[in-house]
Amino acid sequence: MKLIHVLNGPNLNLLGTREPSVYGRETLADIEGRLRQAAGAAGVEIIFRQSNHEGVLVDWIQEAGRIGAGVILNAGAYTHTSIALRDAIAGSGAHVIEVHLSNVHAREHFRHSSMISAVCRGVILGFGSLSYDLALQGLLAAAGKPKS
């Protein structure tokens, strides 16, 4: 796996500016910088993107599937609602790791279900921004191995 797309959904552009008790103080740019370094050390290129729009995320997942890039996806609130994202992941064949900063299971009931977990290669949540680093490690380690 030579290319990994890191895709971020709605409101994650606000990271580090609001609700630090839930989401921490790091910005998305901080996370991007750290991941770029770790990926570079492993000889992997990173494309890092954020959108507030469901259809844009669908397009990016399809793109990753077409070119065989792995995906680290924090779909934000669309995690809990989006059949379109689920269909994009399943239909594109992209290897996707679902990530969340917070432990969604320790939060409101409506965050306990994910539309996308079942079609993702793995799920990492609750480790703050470290969830992204762990997802990168998981994606690199799982590259080329079948789902278990």
Minimum gap (Å) between residue 102 Cβ and ligand CA2: 3
Query: Quick check: 95 and 70 in contact, CB under 8 A?
Result: yes
Active site residue 112: no
The nearest distance, CB 32 to ligand CA2, in angstroms, is 15
Q: Closest CB to ligand CA2 among 85 and 101?
A: 101
Distance of CA 10 to CAs 3, 7, 14, 52, 109, Å?
23, 10, 9, 4, 19
CB of 77 to ligand CA2, least distance (A): 4
52 or 137: CB nearest ligand CA2: 52
Contact residues: ligand CA2, CB under 6 A: 11-12, 14-15, 18-19, 23, 74, 76-77, 79, 100-102, 104, 111
- Based on the residue annotation, tell me whether 23 is a catalytic residue of this protein: yes
- Token digits of residue 21: 């008790």
Q: Which residue has the tokens 């969340």?
A: 100
Q: Give the DSSP per-residue string, 21-58.
A: HHH-S--HHHHHHHHHHHHHHTT-EEEEEE-S-HHHHH
Cβ proximity to ligand CA2: between 18 and 147 the closer is 18
